[in-house]
Amino acid sequence: MTCPICKKPTVESYRPFCSKRCADVDLGRWLGGEYAVPSQDPEEQIDALEEIAKQNDTLH
């Protein structure tokens, strides 16, 4: 198995990562919203689209 962040071999104590650094990078991505679990709930999808529209309005 290889580390999903840097592709180096994994280390058992940090599995599925190779190091604490890669584990922290992954955690940062989750906390920063780079990863998301898709939802099949139509109400949540509408809420997400509205949030994206608000973010786009504040950027322009």
Q: What is the pTM of this model?
A: 0.61
Q: How many CB atoms lie within 10 A of CB 5?
A: 17
Question: Could you tell me if residue 49 is inside a domain?
Answer: yes
Structural domain total, the chain: 1
Q: Supply the pLDDT for residue 39.
A: 73
Question: Could you tell me if residue 2 is inside a domain?
Answer: no
Q: The CATH number of the domain where 40 resides is what?
A: 3.30.50
Question: Could you tell me if residue 36 is inside a domain?
Answer: yes
In this predicted model, what pLDDT tens digit does every residue of 16-28 receive, in sequence order? 999 999 999 999 9
In this predicted model, what pLDDT tens digit does every residue of 1-60 receive, in sequence order? 999 999 999 999 999 999 999 999 999 999 988 988 777 788 887 888 898 888 888 766
Question: Could you tell me if residue 32 is inside a domain?
Answer: yes
Angle of CA points 37, 40, 53, to nearest 5°: 75
